[in-house]
Structure 1
Amino acid sequence: MQVTEKSSEGLKRAFAVVLPAADIAARRQARLAEIGKDLRLPGFRPGKVPPKIVAQRYGQAVMGEVLERSLDDAARRIVTDRGLKPAVQPKVEIVNWSDGADLEFNLDVELLPEITIPDLAAIEVEKLTATPSEEEIAKRLEEIAKRHRNSEPVEETRPAVAGDLLVVDFTGRIDGRAFRGGSATDMEIEVGGAGFVPGFTGGLVGLAPGETREVTVSFPEAYPAEDLAGKTAVFEVTAKALRRALPPSIDDALATKHGFADLNAMREAIKGAIQREYDQLSRLRLKRALLDKLAEQARFPTPEAMVEAEFGAIWQRIEQDMKAGQLDEADRGKDEATLKAEYRGIAERRVRLGLLLSEIGRANNLTVSQEELKRAIIAEAQRYPGQERKVLEYYQQNPQAIERFRAPLFEEKVIDYVLALAKVSEKAVGPEDLMRDPEAAEA
């Protein structure tokens, strides 16, 4: 094999390679002989088919197989012999080949950069912390009580007013046709309340039991169901009963109803749930601050192919959001060129940080154990109450699917390792400050 380095620019290497015709022919003969050992054809004993007939029948298919394997083997040898570390699969392009001639091809390789790990102990980050207030706990309790409050019939005969509970049947139609999910019977709806298509509950004001009314609404452009987004629907609503919501009771009975010993136990459980939410948000903020610090010190070139692949995945999602009218508020009004430039920058940052985190993990022998993967799968199954067994069986039957957990687990492990070395100070803030977008705050 003759290998000539054509160019070396940045992370890119280009080689011109020539594989001798004799090597190709030898591989082809060896493969045909291998096939002939077990070949069965009418008129011949097993394994005794003449080589000429084997070549006539399988020569073309074998040649394609031999060429592919020869190219792969040659590319692997070049990479190994020169100690190269490809960032992505090397690109092979056949330049010249004909039966009986040398195989000439070009090999383009983009390498991983040399990465210097920064002084992790010198990194300084601030961890924001928050604790639930009595007002927040009381608000959560009130929300739970309101969702489970009782109601009573309205004895007087009168139209519904905002805040009443109206029991209705309704059917929604678009262009005269009923649509999936647009009908219900005996549904209790808070007149003027939230949770429905804008304008629907408000259109029930003044409707009395026994009456039927048409309520016209327009689904928002960003409505989750794409077949309904932006369309106008007419709902035929029949009122069947009028009820009055009773004031929510926040007492031991409410706590017992939800499986707690008393109201104090329920309050402590709510406090713990809110604290876990705050701790999770605190972790996200801390991780973001740490990644910003690492990005500042990650001064190495990024493989163009990796950036393009990352950008392609991001841009595909952006295009989908554009079509669905769900583009982020910050992106609306920007032209395509501006958006592409911004998201290409995001793609480059992700690739650079990914390479740095990978190198930190490799240099410090950080790995994801089978036990950690198992715990991640169990946690995933618990997200689907009642279907846990099916989820677990899916991953047992599809071991390759488990790999989707490895990368995020590895990243979190590296983040924990860096945080253990870095200088982390804590700052107590209110929940509002913890939830505020840092970029929005700076703006």
Structure 2
Amino acid sequence: MQVTETLNAGLKREIQVIVPAKDMEARLVERLEDAKSKVRINGFRPGKVPLQHLRKMYGKAMMAEVVNDILSKSTGSIISDRGEKAAMQPEVTMTEDEKEAEKVLSGEADFSFQIAYEVIPPIEVKDVADIKVTREIYDVPEAEIEEQALRVAESARSFTTKKGKAEDGDRVTIDYVGKIDGEPFEGGADTGANLVLGSGQFIPGFEEQLVGVKAGDEKVISVTFPAEYQAAHLAGKDATFDVKVTEVAKPEPLELNDEVAKNLGLESADKLREIVKGQLENQFGALTRQKVKRQLLDQLDAVYSFEAPSKLVEAEFENIWNQVTGDLEKAGRNFEDEETTEEKARAEYQRLAERRVRLGLVLAEIGEKAGVQITDEEMQRALYETVRHYPGQEKEIFEFYRSNPQAQANLRAPLFEEKVIDHLLGQVDVTDKKVSKDELLADDEETAEAAPKKKAPAKKKAAPKKAAAKDEGSDGE
């Protein structure tokens, strides 16, 4: 095999590989010999089929297997032998001329192909002892825990039927049918639906028109679906709802006690408070880590300056741009609404993509030098956490990751990154600082995170909610 470098410009490399016809012949004969004892051909005893007969019948097909074998096995080894790392999957090209290809498959010509790729630049891991970060810590007060626990307990609040008009905070039980242009639409009807007025559970304008109704009232409500409504066929449409009120109930005073906790499936009010405290601490702890990580990445970005592989930057930019434009389209906005232009936005996100790629390579090198590893158990936990977000599709998601190495790599990448961040935080100067909630929540200038966000298999569309009148943004997703 003859390997010749034909391009070495910056990070770009091109390699010409020639496998002489005699070597191709030797590989083919080896395959034919192996097949000789396995094939069954009428008129020949097992293992006695002449080699020339096998060549006549299977020669071209087996030579094609030889070609594929060389392409799959040699590309990585050639780059590795050169002491290089490819930034992305190398591009392999060979002749498209049918006559030339026929000669190769017939063993009459050398097999020639080209490998084009970008290398990951050499990165010298630098001392980080001079890096200083401030870890902002918010201690959640008991009053905030109690307030949040009461919000959670709200779902277990009891109501008592009352006479008279419904007020904000009252619960109305209703039957309704939604119509567009006078025709009922799918998912727009329900019976016995409970709605707490003022909860924001239904689309804007719906609940307000029920204030003042009494049991037995019938009313036609007119609303307009939000432009960004999840069901595209309803988004922005004017609709009416024929509503019949079957009950009005007033809320009972809410007290956080063991009985309320048991209605929520917990053994005591203290257990509810404990769970709420843990959730709040996790929530604010995640903000603390995000800010620390941002400081760390900003300083690493200032220390490491090198050319990032253009293909990686291009791929990362496309990920970012697709997300940005998709979010704008979903919100019915454009770049002018964001007080910028598409040209300026492209330049900004191009810089963001370059930063992400560069920092991703830096963290990868630091992690490799430090011996950071992701265990099978950690991968399994991450997989189960991912699967949890796709109820009813667990089997398909498991199979997707099991059979897709790239998906596994995308699952592993953020785990590896966070471990490297932990490793660095053990080496840099970290100062803890107690802050208020407002200080912790204060918006910093947005900066990039090191690596592209992990990808997941496309999620199937959720089934329409039973009542289209319900505000689909209220479920927290």
Shared fold, TM over 0.5: yes
Name the amino acid aligned to 2:346.
K
Q: SS in structure 2 opposite 1:34?
A: helix
Counterpart for residue 152 of structure 1: 160
Contact 2:153 2:264 in 1 (8 A): no
- 1:259-279 Cα offsets, whole Å, 9 max, x none, are 777656654554444233222
- 1:36-72 Cα offsets, whole Å, 9 max, x none, are 3311123332333333442333233223222222344
Aligned residues: 437
Q: Report the alpha carbon displacement of residue 121 of structure 1 after superposing the two structures with TM.
A: 1.4
Name the amino acid aligned to 1:225.
A
Counterparts of 2:247 and 2:119, CA distance in 1: 72
Structure 2 CA distance for partners of 1:397 and 1:363, relative to 1, 3 Å? closer
- 1:264-302 Cα offsets, whole Å, 9 max, x none, are 665455444423322222122212221222222221221
Counterparts of 2:304 and 2:401, CA distance in 1: 40
Counterparts of 1:160 and 1:65, CA distance in 2: 77
Q: Does 1:430 align with 2:440?
A: no
Counterpart for residue 45 of structure 2: 45
Contact 1:311 1:347 in 2 (8 A): yes
Counterparts of 2:17 and 2:366, CA distance in 1: 35
Structure 2 CA distance for partners of 1:27 and 1:272, relative to 1, 3 Å? closer
Contact 1:226 1:324 in 2 (8 A): no
Counterparts of 1:32 and 1:287, CA distance in 2: 58
Counterparts of 1:182 and 1:57, CA distance in 2: 66
Q: Report the alpha carbon displacement of residue 22 of structure 1 after superposing the two structures with TM.
A: 2.1
Name the amino acid aligned to 1:222.
E
Structure 2 CA distance for partners of 1:364 and 1:209, relative to 1, 3 Å? same
Equivalent residue in structure 2 for 1:222, among 225, 228, 239: 228
Farther-moved stretch of structure 1 (30-39 vs 191-200): 30-39
Q: Report the alpha carbon displacement of residue 317 of structure 1 after superposing the two structures with TM.
A: 2.9
Counterpart for residue 90 of structure 2: 90
Counterparts of 1:262 and 1:3, CA distance in 2: 73
* Structure 1 unmatched ranges of 5 or more: none
Counterpart for residue 112 of structure 1: 120
The RMSD of aligned alpha carbons is: 3.4
Q: Report the alpha carbon displacement of residue 127 of structure 1 after superposing the two structures with TM.
A: 0.6
Equivalent residue in structure 2 for 1:126, among 126, 130, 134: 134
Counterpart for residue 35 of structure 2: 35
Counterparts of 1:346 and 1:331, CA distance in 2: 21
Counterpart for residue 309 of structure 2: 303
Given the two structures, how large is their TM-score scaled by the length of structure 1? 0.85
Name the amino acid aligned to 2:243.
V
Structure 2 CA distance for partners of 1:195 and 1:276, relative to 1, 3 Å? same
Name the amino acid aligned to 1:28.
L
Farther-moved stretch of structure 1 (92-101 vs 295-304): 92-101
* Structure 2 unmatched ranges of 5 or more: 448-477
Counterpart for residue 275 of structure 1: 281
Structure 2 CA distance for partners of 1:73 and 1:273, relative to 1, 3 Å? closer
Q: Does 1:185 align with 2:191?
A: yes
Structure 2 CA distance for partners of 1:321 and 1:272, relative to 1, 3 Å? closer
- 1:173-204 Cα offsets, whole Å, 9 max, x none, are 34555445432221221234412111111122
Structure 2 CA distance for partners of 1:440 and 1:60, relative to 1, 3 Å? closer
Q: Percent identity?
A: 37
Structure 2 CA distance for partners of 1:129 and 1:397, relative to 1, 3 Å? closer
Counterpart for residue 365 of structure 1: 371
Counterparts of 2:355 and 2:111, CA distance in 1: 40
Farther-moved stretch of structure 1 (293-302 vs 52-61): 52-61
Matches of residues 375-386 of structure 1 in structure 2 within 5 Å? Answer: 375-376=381-382
Q: SS in structure 1 opposite 2:151?
A: helix
Contact 2:195 2:201 in 1 (8 A): no
Structure 2 CA distance for partners of 1:439 and 1:304, relative to 1, 3 Å? same
Counterparts of 1:203 and 1:163, CA distance in 2: 14
Name the amino acid aligned to 2:140.
P
Contact 1:395 1:402 in 2 (8 A): no
Farther-moved stretch of structure 1 (278-287 vs 314-323): 314-323
Matches of residues 16-415 of structure 1 in structure 2 within 5 Å? Answer: 16-95=16-95, 97-98=100-101, 99=103, 100-156=108-164, 159-251=165-257, 253-255=259-261, 257-258=263-264, 266-267=272-273, 269-325=275-331, 332=338, 334-376=340-382, 394=398, 398=402, 405-415=411-421
- 1:212-263 Cα offsets, whole Å, 9 max, x none, are 2222222222223334333333222111112222232244544565577765
Structure 2 CA distance for partners of 1:252 and 1:27, relative to 1, 3 Å? closer
Contact 1:331 1:339 in 2 (8 A): no
Counterparts of 2:340 and 2:25, CA distance in 1: 59
- 1:322-360 Cα offsets, whole Å, 9 max, x none, are 443377999845444333332222222221111111111
Contact 2:21 2:110 in 1 (8 A): yes
Q: Report the alpha carbon displacement of residue 30 of structure 1 after superposing the two structures with TM.
A: 2.8
Contact 1:172 1:178 in 2 (8 A): yes
Contact 2:31 2:62 in 1 (8 A): yes
Given the two structures, how large is their TM-score scaled by the length of structure 2? 0.80
Counterparts of 2:336 and 2:298, CA distance in 1: 20
- 1:392-443 Cα offsets, whole Å, 9 max, x none, are x9589948676654322222211111001110112211112212221279xx
